[in-house]
Structure 1
Amino acid sequence: MDTPQVPQPQKSLNVFKWIGIGCGGLFLLFILGSIGLAFFVQRFLNMSADPQQAEQTAQSIMGYDIPGGSEGFMSMEFSGMTFVGVGSASNPGEVTLMLGKVPSNANEFQDSFQSSFRESFENQSGQNISILASRTETKQLCGQAVTVTVVEGEQSTMTSTIPTLTYQTAIQHNQNLLFVTLTTSGDEAQAIAEQVFGSLSCK
């Protein structure tokens, strides 16, 4: 009697969640290095992995619509700066949305953060994710024309490769600088990215 073959599980697409968290950590370290470690020591870093709190924090920065519903997975706040991540509730790994809010007097960080995120994404993606191409596009966000960095790649699993797409931009709104990093994966990565990015609305 033949023993039934048990399919080997594919590696989780939640890799994007950890990439996002790592990028968020890099962002915070960059800010801290710029404003001085002593300033940070004087204040308490408020970090939470509570899904409900993360969702509420994200909604306070921007409105968004993720297909199949959304679920928060992390939030960080200190000294008026906020960084938060939410993802797809129905299909983990298909959509990861990272949002950041920084007071406008810190807008000199924008260019450095854009390049730092790209470097962090490349360094943390490891052997599972390959970056194939990068370009910039002009898109509308909150009634403004913004420059969006688009990074195309693919994630390798045991049996196939999965297309991935990342949109990254920043916008000045209500005396704050808002950062957006949207990563989608799967055969419909492009269409889903356009749908989610088009749903973003500033608060």
Structure 2
Amino acid sequence: MEWESSTIWYWIILACTGIISGVLGYFFGKSDTPLAPEKSIEINSLEIQNAKLKSDLETCKKRLDTYTTKTKQLNFDSAINPSKKKSFFFDAKEAKAAFGKTIKENDLKLVEGIGPKIEGLFHNFDIKTWKDLAETSADKCQEVLHSGGKSYRIHDPASWPMQAKMAYEGHWEQLFEWQEKHRAGKY
């Protein structure tokens, strides 16, 4: 009889331990997983970002194809007529159409981040055209800024040669879009 009562208690304790473990496991497992609506909102957000990135990629591919086609044509024209070199000309109407204001040829102030005083610093270094600035390294641009004193060192000229190249080559819409996207809090 004594043996039977200890066996019953053994099974009761074992069953209680299993039930308690199961309940605790369920609650611990449930607390670690985010709610389904939270996941779906995050997934939707990521899908939207992915769609935007795919759209941007397609736009870039189309622009690259257009640029490649134009470059091949220029190279073909140069091969046929070597005296005809790759040259760009300033089209004030196209520039005005993209920017909505009159643009003067080789105005370095068109580059986002360059004002009249910084333009003067570049002129002191004989950098007076978009082509000159496009062919200038970011390090050289930094050197020009340092020549103006401490107050000019806060500027970041990393994109200035790229912007100048877009202006020199007449890529007005791309330049305007780039500047709008990267405008440093100026409205």
TM-score (norm 2): 0.28
Higher relative contact order (CA 8 A, sep 6+): 1
Higher share in strand: 1
TM-score (norm 1): 0.27
Q: Which one has the largest radius of gyration?
A: 2
